[in-house]
Amino acid sequence: MSNFEGQVAIITGGAQGIGRAAAEMLQNGGARVVLWDMDLELAQSTAAEMGGDTLAFAVDVSDWANVQAAAAATQEATGRIDIMVNSAGIAGDVETVENYPVDHFAHVVAVNLLGTFHTNKAVVSAMRAQGYGRIVNIASIAGKEGNPNASAYSASKAGVIGFTKSLGKELSDLDIAVNCVTPAAARTRIFDQMTQAHIDFMLSKIPRGRFLEVDEAAAMITWLCSKENSFTTGAVFDLSGGRATY
C-alpha cells in the first residue's frame, strides 16, 4: 500500500461502487478523503461509516458553479487537493440511436463528459500551485469499443479518454499525472439503470466470464494516485477482463 499521509483525495461518486472502494483504499493508505456525490444523504452515511475526518459534499458534476463551490469548500476545509478520482457517472437509456431521446443523450454527456471536464478543471490550479497532483478519470471499455444501444454512454466515455490524454499532455512538465481506467462492467448501482438483456450482453463480452470486482478497480486506481506513478500520464489502463482489443 502506498503512503498517502498528509494528502487530500476527492472522490466524485464516492458514496458507493467503485468510487467508495477507491475512497476506502486511499483512506487506508493515510489520505484524508472528501466525497463528492449527488446523493448527499448516502455520501454522509458513507463518510460516517468510513470514520476519521472524511467529508461529504453534495455535488452535481454537470453544474460548473456547483463544482467550483465544492472545490473552494474542500480547499477551505482541508488546505489542499492532491488527488482527484472522478467516478461520478450515469449509464443513460438503453435504446437505439434512432429512438434515443435527445434530451437524455445530452444529459448523459453533461454528467459523464462535461462532469469530467468540470471536476478536472476545478482542481488543476491547486495542483499546479503545489507542483504535484494525481487525477484518475473513470472511463469505460464502452468508450473504446462502443456498446450497441448505449450510444450516449459509449460516446461520453470515449470523450473522457480523449480528454484525459489532452490534459495529461498539458500538465506533463509537472509532477501531475492524469490517467484514466476503462473498466468492464462492475455490479454496482449503475446496473439499476440497465435492462437484464443489456447486463447479459456485457457479461457475454468479458472473456473472464465474470464482472469486475470494485476492489480490483480500486487497486489500480490507488496505484495511479500514488507517488510511485511518477512517469505515466495521459494513459489508459484497462480493467476489461480480457475484453479490450486495443
Residue 244 DSSP one-character state: -
Cα distances from 154 to residues 2, 91, 143, 146, 179, in angstroms, run 32, 9, 5, 5, 18
Give every strand in the sheet of 32-37, ordered side by side: 55-58, 32-37, 8-12, 83-86, 132-138, 175-183, 236-239
Q: Which residue has the cell 483512506?
A: 27
Decide: helix, strand or coil at residue 184.
Answer: coil
What nine digits make up the cell of 30?
Answer: 493515510
Q: Does the active-site annotation cover 100? A: no
Decide: helix, strand or coil at residue 91.
Answer: coil
Q: What are phi and psi of 11, to 5 degrees?
A: -125, 110
Q: Looking at 100, 132, 153, 246, which residue is catalytic?
A: 153
What nine digits make up the cell of 186?
Answer: 462492475
What nine digits make up the cell of 17?
Answer: 461502487
Indicate the residue type of 172. S
Quick check: 105 and 153 in contact, CB under 8 A?
no
Q: What are phi and psi of 55, to 5 degrees?
A: -110, 155
The strand pairing partners of 138, in sequence order, are 181
* Catalytic center residues: 153
